[in-house]
Amino acid sequence: MTDAPPSTLFADQSAYAEAVQLALDAAAAYYGDGTSTLDDDAYDRLVRGIQAYEAEHPDEVLPSSPTGKVAGGAVVGDVPHTVPMLSLDNVFSAEKLVDWAASLERRLGRPVTRWSVEPKLDGLAIAARYRGGRLVQLVTRGDGTKGEDVSHAIGTIVGLPARLAEPVTVELRGEVMMTVSQFEDACVKRRAHDGTTFANPRSAAAGTLRAQDRSYVCELTFFGYGALPAPDDISEQAARLRVLPHSEVMAWVAGQSVQTTDATPVTGIVAETLEQVQERVEQIATLRPKLPFGIDGIVIKCDLAADQAQAGFSSRAPRWAIAYKLPATEKITKLLGVEWNVGRSGIIAPRAVLEPVDLEGSKITYATLHNVADITRRGLMLGDSVVVYKAGDVIPRVEAPVVHLRTGDERPIPIPRVCPLCGDEIDASQERWRCVRGRACRVIASIGYAAGRDQLDIEGLAENRIRQMLDAGLIADFADLFFLTREQVLGLERMGETSTDNLLAAIERAKAQPLSRVFCALGVRGTGRSMSRRIARHFGSMDAIRAADAEAIEAVEGLGPKKAPGVVAELVELTGLIDKLIRAGVNMTQPGWTPPAAPDTDAKADTDTNAGPEPGDASELPLAGMSVVVTGSMSGALEALTRNQMNELIERAGGKSSSSVSKKTSLLVAGENAGSKRAKAETLGVRIVGPEEFAGLVGELL
Ligand code: IVH
């Protein structure tokens, strides 16, 4: 690693602005919750690059630069704000939110009865000045009292119209950011232009907002969160805006054709109690991974103008609002290597090997890289500092390299020319590369998976045994196992009478496995253990699953329009295998399945109704209607159960198994070493039981 930053850093003002944003975010995370996004060395390199640029361009120094070198008369950030653009104080937990609200209510001398709850948009604050309904100036936050004129960006920001619906004079405040798709487009444009990319949507937005001399234009998005009449505006309109509740101001803003979060699934709401506030916080946190733009928390404000006016401001922030910060979903770490794995269906998938990094409560060592096109699109190199993203239950993924942190030691990622597993050719006609042998390439792994403990549970079928059978031509897929004769198995090397009989008995027992496990054994992409249980409970029989078209498959919770057509297509591919299983006498129904209640009856047409071991009254089952989460290691009677078997048990007992704790969770089964899920359940007041108590609850269903 060289000491001085490479001279290619920060080609222009926008690249400099991006680097400043990355450094500011790293410092804010470090001083906020102590989880820096950058290691010390990377941070120092970034700041050295910033210093080098500032030395050459003293007139472009940003007021917010971490070098603190802004000169007295810096030309940027010279537009005074009519009302200071302040920051928000933060809380990181439900308890701290309660403490903050209590101190605010003490200050007001009365309870707050209307709270406005909205997402905290992860972009950059901007003031959009409208005169007579026309957008005349855009000013960044700058140092809060003075900002930079970025009016050149007018016309490139979705959600910020050139004209309002009414000819009013007003300053709209809100966040400028890049949506996921705008970020993708921007990365493609920049790659085509100079072969590099943006680190993340926030720094991309920061750079883009200042870019004046780029030969390509990147689109931005605006979401408004406030409206200010000029302090000297004595019009009726201005007077009205000053006294309206915040929620009504926002409705007025939306009525002016300006985008607000009203147009999104995380629309602002008004809550009357802190419990309702907390409920909305949970909802927004759950929705976060699926949003088409980044949020980093939830902003809670007094909705009533009178409450806001009385609470006032501290030097940094309003006392009437607070940011409830959500855990970071991104970290920067090193890309150490790329592994190429061949999936059960022959798909060749690259996986990033990372310098381990803590994110969302877990240590991340691997992250998905999707496919080769994705690697090229992002311009990744070995040794790159990369942004890794993980939120909720999503698989961690590598977003982009941080080009500003390159040292010159990065190397291209070797791309395989032949299938890394069997050496045959690669079918590269689609974005997802595939071994030309398809499923046959992974036949050993596919059969091993089908025989696994959570699928058909055929004990004694180790990988070497499967290989022997394949080599001897006894089997070609896992359905052939059911046609093996005693003589054939006995004829294999190192196969005695007892082990032969044991293996054949295990295969015989496998015929009676529930449909959920038989379906899971097929290895259809996107249908792991819990999804297979959902599918089996939804349809009840293999016949019904095979008869379903994509629309019918979509009705299964968690299988949206993106995944459903793939499931249908794979089932068609698997026709021969499924028919063979049927001929072998393998069970093709879900025990205890009853057809879903007709929509016009009172019974809830919920999948839970089909979860019981006996047809009929599922409501009498011990976990009927309960949503149950398991965490930590099980002990006692539950010790030998895999997580899948625990989930099956919950569903047999009438409950619904889930992997994350929320307000809707009815019960948490917490074993040894239970971590963040237990803490969250405690905060939410969810009932917590240990493995023994749970075993008692489910009784004989165990
Ligand atoms: S209200 C006086 N509402 O968060 C400050 N800010 O950390 C009032 N932000 O600079 C700001 N979403 O850029 C408000 N719904 C929202 C917000 C929001 C994001 C940003 C804003 C502010 C920063 C403070």
Query: Could you identify the atom of ligand 1 that is nearest to the CA of residue 226?
Result: 1
Q: Residue of the nearest CA to atom 15 in ligand 1? A: 120
User: Where do runs of H (alpha helix) occur along 155-259?
Assistant: 180-194, 201-210, 236-243, 246-255
User: Is the residue at 592 inside a domain?
Assistant: no
Stated as kind and residue range, the H or E segment containing 667 is strand 667-670
**What's the whole-model pTM score?**
0.70
> Ligand 1 center to residue 184 CA distance, Å?
25
Query: Could you identify the atom of ligand 1 that is nearest to the CA of residue 125?
Result: 13
- 144 lies in the same domain as 234: yes
83 lines ligand 1 (CB under 6 A): no
> Ligand 1 center to residue 563 CA distance, Å?
36
Q: Residue of the nearest CA to atom 21 in ligand 1? A: 125
CATH code of the domain containing 353: 2.40.50.140
25 lines ligand 1 (CB under 6 A): no
- 364 lies in the same domain as 470: no
176 lines ligand 1 (CB under 6 A): no
88 lines ligand 1 (CB under 6 A): yes
Q: Residue of the nearest CA to atom 22 in ligand 1? A: 87
Query: Could you identify the atom of ligand 1 that is nearest to the CA of residue 86?
Result: 2
Query: Could you identify the atom of ligand 1 that is nearest to the CA of residue 118?
Result: 15
CATH code of the domain containing 674: 3.40.50.10190
Give the end of a domain, one of 564, 583, 602: 583
299 lines ligand 1 (CB under 6 A): yes
Query: Could you identify the atom of ligand 1 that is nearest to the CA of residue 85?
Result: 2
Instruction: Specify the pLDDT at position 71.
Output: 52
Q: Residue of the nearest CA to atom 17 in ligand 1? A: 120
| 315-322 contact pairs (CB < 8 A, 24+) | 316/86, 316/87, 316/89, 317/86, 317/87, 317/88, 317/89, 318/86, 318/88, 319/104, 319/107, 320/104, 321/88, 322/88, 322/89, 322/90, 322/91, 322/97, 322/100
- 351 lies in the same domain as 478: no
Question: 355 near 334, Cβ under 8 Å?
Answer: yes
Secondary structure in 3-state letters for 31-45: HHCCCCCCCHHHHHH
- 119 lies in the same domain as 226: yes
User: What total number of domains does the chain contain?
Assistant: 6
CATH code of the domain containing 248: 3.30.470.30
87 lines ligand 1 (CB under 6 A): yes
User: Is the residue at 601 inside a domain?
Assistant: no
Query: Could you identify the atom of ligand 1 that is nearest to the CA of residue 317?
Result: 2
Distance, in Å, from the CA atom of 415 to the CA atom of 376, rounded to the nearest integer, reads: 10
Q: Residue of the nearest CA to atom 14 in ligand 1? A: 225
> Ligand 1 center to residue 398 CA distance, Å?
28
- 148 lies in the same domain as 286: yes
Burial zone of 17 (CB within 10 Å; 0-12 exposed, 13-18 middle, 19+ buried): buried
Structure letter (DSSP) for residue 609: G
Q: Which domain holds residue 632?
A: 627-701
Q: Residue of the nearest CA to atom 23 in ligand 1? A: 87
Give the end of a domain, one of 493, 510, 527: 510
Question: 201 near 183, Cβ under 8 Å?
Answer: yes
Distance, in Å, from the CA atom of 375 to the CA atom of 433, rounded to the nearest integer, reads: 13
- 481 lies in the same domain as 565: no
Distance, in Å, from the CA atom of 424 to the CA atom of 437, rounded to the nearest integer, reads: 7
- 198 lies in the same domain as 95: yes
125 lines ligand 1 (CB under 6 A): yes
Low-confidence residues of the chain, pLDDT below 70? 1-8, 33-34, 69-77, 595-618
120 lines ligand 1 (CB under 6 A): yes
348 lines ligand 1 (CB under 6 A): no
Phi-psi region of 110 (alpha: psi -120 to 50; beta: other; left: phi over 0): beta
User: Is the residue at 683 inside a domain?
Assistant: yes
> Ligand 1 center to residue 5 CA distance, Å?
34
User: Is the residue at 264 inside a domain?
Assistant: yes
- 527 lies in the same domain as 502: no
Distance, in Å, from the CA atom of 248 to the CA atom of 236, rounded to the nearest integer, reads: 16
- Please choose from 21, 225, 303 the residue to mutate so as to test ligand 1's pocket, defined by most ligand atoms within 8 A of CB: 225
User: Is the residue at 607 inside a domain?
Assistant: no
Q: Which residue has the tokens 């990369």?
A: 386
> Ligand 1 center to residue 87 CA distance, Å?
7
223 lines ligand 1 (CB under 6 A): no
- Please choose from 175, 281, 291, 320 the residue to mutate so as to test ligand 1's pocket, defined by most ligand atoms within 8 A of CB: 175
121 lines ligand 1 (CB under 6 A): yes
> Ligand 1 center to residue 297 CA distance, Å?
10
Q: Which distant-in-sequence residues (6+ apart) come within 8 Å of 233 by Cβ? A: 169
User: Is the residue at 138 inside a domain?
Assistant: yes
- Please choose from 90, 92, 299 the residue to mutate so as to test ligand 1's pocket, defined by most ligand atoms within 8 A of CB: 299
Amino acid code (one letter) for 86: L
User: Is the residue at 397 inside a domain?
Assistant: yes
118 lines ligand 1 (CB under 6 A): yes
CATH code of the domain containing 530: 1.10.150.20
Query: Could you identify the atom of ligand 1 that is nearest to the CA of residue 124?
Result: 13
> Ligand 1 center to residue 85 CA distance, Å?
9
Give the end of a domain, one of 68, 95, 120: 68
298 lines ligand 1 (CB under 6 A): no
Burial zone of 195 (CB within 10 Å; 0-12 exposed, 13-18 middle, 19+ buried): exposed
Q: What is the pLDDT of residues 628-676, one digit of tens each?
A: 999 999 999 999 898 888 998 998 898 989 888 888 999 999 998 887 8
Query: Could you identify the atom of ligand 1 that is nearest to the CA of residue 120?
Result: 12
- 124 lies in the same domain as 273: yes
Instruction: Specify the pLDDT at position 303.
Output: 98
- 319 lies in the same domain as 349: no
> Ligand 1 center to residue 292 CA distance, Å?
19
Query: Could you identify the atom of ligand 1 that is nearest to the CA of residue 119?
Result: 15
> Ligand 1 center to residue 653 CA distance, Å?
46
Distance, in Å, from the CA atom of 367 to the CA atom of 668, rounded to the nearest integer, reads: 28
- 243 lies in the same domain as 128: yes
Distance, in Å, from the CA atom of 292 to the CA atom of 283, rounded to the nearest integer, reads: 16
- 163 lies in the same domain as 302: yes
> Ligand 1 center to residue 89 CA distance, Å?
10
User: Is the residue at 433 inside a domain?
Assistant: no
Q: What is the pLDDT of residues 442-477, one digit of tens each?
A: 898 889 999 999 999 999 999 889 989 998 999 999
Residues that are catalytic? 120
> Ligand 1 center to residue 88 CA distance, Å?
6
* Residue 341 three-state SS: strand
